[in-house]
Chain A
Amino acid sequence: MWHNHCMKAIQVKQVGGPEAMELVDLPVPQPQANEAVIKLAASGVNFIDCYYREGRYKAPLPFVPGQEGSGTVTAVGADVKSVKPGDRVAWSATLGTYAEYAAVAADRLVPVPAGVSDQEAAAAMLQGMTAHYLAHDSYPLKKGETALIHAAAGGVGLLLVQMAHNIGARVIATVSTEEKAKLARDAGADDVILYSQTDFETETKKLMGGKGVDVVYDSVGKTTFEKGLNLLRPRGMMVLFGGSSGAVPPFDPIVLTQKGSLFLTRPSLGNYIATREELVARSGAVFGMMAAGKLKLRIEHKYPLAAAQQAHRDLEGRKTTGKLLLIP
């Protein structure tokens, strides 16, 4: 084939800290029958990449990290009909995006429309589709309802606030700093609570005039779960989609009855893009919002591939409020 040359890639030979990631030369991958090879334009940097790097999630060693990318198809396997060389595509959930080229199963690739740049597409795949299933499927938020969104200036948070606002829901957001509060407000939050300064339960009750919210979107987990239940209206929905403060410990389900016949779900993205049809529809919907200017992504920093270590340090330092990208 025509890719007999080498490419630059980040490789993890032994799991560990950011320094476990080395810039190396690897052969450009060749497509299997069901795969396409893509020249990457951008790779997203996500917490899950850190988990693989440090060994909390397992991948056979050595491996190329990264699970989110966009670029242009350069070669396809014999059975691939859905894409052809030259197509602009994006994908998530396939390891190996911290590289100049990646081989990906063609049925995980989604088309990127003209109104969306490669970098925006890479930035939107995980967080954009997550925000989308949260607002539209885990709990189909409706105009006039109220959502409490924790970590509203986080990667998913800022997108979720915009989507909830666009639906016509009232958004109460929690954030840790004044700077983040401003970002949440700019994204469309109606009320923002600085949980480091005021108790979010007391404050939300005040804002709601004693009524409950329809849904709580909670990626914080351990420190927010119980109080979140106290803030739901009868028959309200707790969507627990992460645990940045630690995992919620086992709880007695009767609590859900006592607090008003509440509903709980603990979703993950994989189950909301399980079929090709749903993956294409969901990514298409997210790209559509972006192209129409209704969903703004904050790309905070772009790093060259060689600076992957720094990107992980910045992400793990939790000082970032927008998306980090690697540009090969």
Chain B
Amino acid sequence: MKAIRVEKTGGPEVMQLAEVPLAQPKTGEAVVKVAIAGVNSADSFFRDGRFRTKLPFIPGQEGAGVVTAVGPGPATVKVGDRVAWSGVLGSYAEYVVAAEEHLVPVPPAITDEQAAAAMVHGLTAHYLVNDAHKLKAGETALVHAAAGGVGLLLVQMARAVGARVIGTASNEEKAQLAREAGADEVIVFTKHDFEEGVKRLTDGKGVEVVYDGVGRATFEKNLNVMKLRGMLVLYGMSSGPVLPVDPARLSEKGSLYMARTTLAHFTATREELLARTSALFGMIAEGKLNVRVAKTYPLAEAPQAHRDLEARKLVGKLLLVP
């Protein structure tokens, strides 16, 4: 089969289209014909070696497709099932061998494109709004990078629960997209200081929760825009990792909370993965959640997809079609 292969870590050019043999599924595994694979920043981290895995490897952890074979013994999926997944390395390929526990059913109302595009970003937005901080009607959330992959979905979900959303974005075009997704206010942080903006927009009171995938660049100011006992959820670090934190700061700024989360801990059991995915697909099917796809590339153009992702110019999900 055709697949993208990384033989040594490095820039986008280390991803090469190759002909590789397809492995046989073991007990508890299934072979899936990949209809679409999602492109995520974690893929870049594996590609350039910031996240480690054994070489050579096939990148990509997210996708949607159809089961074509199952391993020996009892199985929870069968040939012909439409499934989606995240957390399965090897998705930039025509076929992937996946542990069944990672595969979730895709309902008929959801397209392969929607399913592949929603797994990582959609599930992340879902746990942020429902579990990392249980957002309630009447609360105000600050969503950084509100036009980012997670951001656009997070804004829609926050609005759906009745919260007020203040977003930040780097330019006016992205700000407009965040507004269309439901953000009540958007601060273009390249032109206006977001700390000042949030204080002004909340009459100096601050927000109940900050959702931050940006990291280092926003951390300090975040502490100044939260209400007493407010929650800072760090779920990414697009500007670099947050520097070491003195816990006393949380006390000084008003008995604040902070969490540093990752999706795997919010889909750790099969039960939770299925419940979360089904809630997510439900919102998409009902038209309550619009998953924006920025661009779809043929598999061979994976290097260009990574370049575009890292340049942060496109808004929405990047997908690969094998």
Identify the A interface with B (CB < 8 A). Answer: 137-138, 225, 234-235, 240, 247-257, 260-268, 271-272, 274
Q: How far is the CB of A126 from chain B (nearest CB, A)?
A: 16
Asked if B248 and A264 sit within 8 Å, CB to CB, the answer is: no
Nearest CB in chain A to that of B237: its residue: A254
Q: Which of B260-284 contact A (CB under 8 A)?
A: 260-262, 265-266, 268
- Does the CB pair A261–B245 fall under 8 Å? no
Q: How many angstroms between the C-alpha atoms of A253 and B233 in the bound complex?
A: 11
CB distance from B105 to the nearest CB of A (A): 25
> What residues on A are CB-neighbors of B177 within 8 Å?
none
Given contacts A266-B250, A266-B251, is CB(A253)–CB(B258) below 8 Å?
A: yes
Q: How far is the CB of B136 from chain A (nearest CB, A)?
A: 14
Known contacts A264-B259, A266-B256, A271-B254: A253-B242 contact under CB 8 Å: yes
Pairs across A and B, CB under 8 Å, 24 listed: A235-B131, A248-B246, A251-B244, A251-B245, A256-B258, A256-B259, A260-B265, A261-B132, A262-B259, A262-B260, A263-B257, A264-B247, A264-B257, A265-B256, A265-B257, A265-B258, A266-B247, A266-B248, A266-B250, A266-B251, A266-B256, A268-B251, A271-B228, A274-B228
Known contacts A235-B131, A253-B260, A262-B260; A240/B247 CB under 8 A: yes
Instruction: Establish whether residues A261 and B260, one from each chain, have CB atoms under 8 Å apart when the complex forms.
Output: yes
Q: How far is the CA of A265 from the CA of B223 in the complex (A)?
A: 13
Contacts of B248 in A (CB 8 A): 247-248, 266
Taking a contact as CB atoms under 8 Å apart, the answer to whether A254 and B260 are in contact is yes
Contact A250 B245 (CB under 8 A): yes
9 further A-B contacts with Cβ under 8 Å, apart from A251-B244, A261-B259, are A234-B265, A247-B246, A247-B248, A248-B246, A250-B245, A252-B245, A260-B265, A261-B265, A268-B251
Of the candidates B228, B241, B256, the one whose C-beta lies within 8 Å of that of A252 is B241
Q: Contacts A234-B268, A235-B265, A261-B265; is A251 near B247 (CB within 8 Å)?
A: yes
Q: Are A254 and B241 also in contact (CB < 8 A) when A240-B247, A266-B247, A268-B251 are?
A: yes
Closest Cβ neighbor of A234 among chain B residues: B265
Residue of A nearest to B250 (CB): A266
Given contacts A262-B259, A263-B258, A264-B257, contact A253 B245 (CB under 8 A): yes
Per the CB 8 Å criterion, the residue count for chain B at the interface is 28
How far, in whole Å, are A261 and B132 apart by their CA atoms in the complex? 9
Determine the distance from Cα of A272 to Cα of B257 in the docked complex, in whole angstroms: 14
- Of residues 208 to 256 in B, which have CB atoms within 8 Å of A's CB atoms? 228-229, 234, 241-251, 254-256
| Least CB separation from A269: chain B residue | B255
Measured between C-beta atoms, what is the minimum distance from A57 to chain B in Å? 14
Point out the residue from B241, B246, B251, B266 that lies within 8 Å of A261, measured CB to CB.
B266
Are A264 and B258 neighbours in the complex by a CB distance under 8 Å? yes
Q: Are B251 and A257 in contact (CB under 8 A)?
A: no
- Contact call A265/B250, Cβ cutoff below 8 A: yes
Measured between alpha carbons, how far is A281 from B257 in the docked complex, in Å? 23
Chain B residues contacting A253 (CB-CB under 8 Å) are 234, 241-242, 244-245, 258, 260
**Cα distance A274–B255 in the bound complex, in angstroms:** 11
* A240-B250 Cα distance, complex, nearest whole Å: 10
CA distance A261 to B262 in the complex (A): 6
Contacts A234-B268, A268-B255, A271-B229 given: A257-B260 contact, CB under 8 Å? yes
CA distance A240 to B248 in the complex (A): 9
- For B131, the chain A residues whose CB sits under 8 A away are 235
Question: Is B247's CB under 8 angstroms from A252's CB?
Answer: no
A250–B241 touching, CB < 8 Å? no
Cβ of A272: which chain B residues have Cβ within 8 Å of it?
A: 229, 255
Question: Is there an interface contact between A265 and B255, defined as CB atoms closer than 8 Å?
Answer: yes
